[in-house]
Amino acid sequence: MKIHIVSLFPWMFTSFFSASLIGKAQESEVLTFNFINPRDFCSDKHQQIDDKPYGGGEWMLLKAEPLITSIEHIISWLWDETFHILFPKPSEQYFTQKDALTYSSIDNLIFVCWRYEWIDHRFDLWLTQQFPQQRSALSLGQYVLLWWEVASMTMIEAIVRLVPWVIKEQGSRQKESYDPLKGMANIEHPQYTRPQEVRGMQIPEVLISGNEQAIIDWRKDISQH
């Protein structure tokens, strides 16, 4: 899988992508990351990426053209590979585990990270007109962020952990907390490790009974409550 990130602040991803399983997946070329800075596509000599909105306002808006050109630049590399554009933003459509599973099978994901107050609306119109089936504006919840790179990191981690060979222990993926195939209900059961007692709290007797079927039944029963 190739992940392309359009961001004014690509340095924010440095430690995130170099650590743990994501870093190892890059070393084995299971994952590839590509960064595009829209400022590089500004036409003026000062590379001004934002400006004041028409109609007045104290805030600043990102210009549409540099972002449009960034997307076109990425897509020009892709040939016949599948791609999807993910646009983290305040939205009525929330990102879920079902989305993560869907996007994990796509060859190329393009994340657009915006900054300042917003983006010139013509960028959103262009995306909708050009790629009506290949773009999604998704929210993590009912709140607003300063850095939408953070939202992209969250979505990327949820997606790439489902890509084959990113997590080698397949069993950890077979018992997810949220399973799209089971109505997205939280199916996680409580888990315990040594010692058997912590501040007077004991682990359930069934877990040390040695009865494998009883343990399976207990986990299934308690995860449904």
Burial 166-189 (b: 16+ CB within 10 A, else e): beeeeeeeeebebbeeeeeeebee
In a domain, 49, yes or no: yes
Q: Which residues pair with 85 in a beta bridge?
A: 110, 135
In a domain, 29, yes or no: yes
In a domain, 132, yes or no: yes
> Structure pTM?
0.85
pLDDT of residue 108: 98
Could you tell me if 135 and 34 lie in one domain? Answer: yes
In a domain, 64, yes or no: yes
Could you tell me if 12 and 112 lie in one domain? Answer: yes
Could you tell me if 119 and 46 lie in one domain? Answer: yes
Alpha helices in the chain (DSSP H): 14-18, 20-27, 64-75, 97-103, 121-130, 148-160, 171-174, 212-223
Could you tell me if 146 and 199 lie in one domain? Answer: no
In a domain, 181, yes or no: no
* Domain residue limits at 112: 2-160
Closest CA to 72 of 29, 36, 30: 36
Could you tell me if 91 and 202 lie in one domain? Answer: no
In this structure, what CATH number is given to the domain that contains residue 73? 3.40.1280.10
Q: What is the pLDDT along the chain (225 residues), one digit of tens a residue?
A: 999 999 999 999 988 888 778 888 888 889 999 999 999 999 888 899 999 999 988 788 999 999 999 999 999 999 889 999 999 988 889 999 999 999 999 999 999 998 767 889 999 999 999 999 999 999 999 888 888 899 999 999 999 999 998 887 555 555 555 566 656 566 678 899 999 999 999 999 999 999 999 999 998 888 765
Could you tell me if 203 and 129 lie in one domain? Answer: no
Could you tell me if 149 and 55 lie in one domain? Answer: yes
Number of C-beta neighbours around residue 219 at 10 A: 18
Strand, helix or coil for residue 170: coil
Domain count for the chain, please give it.
Answer: 2
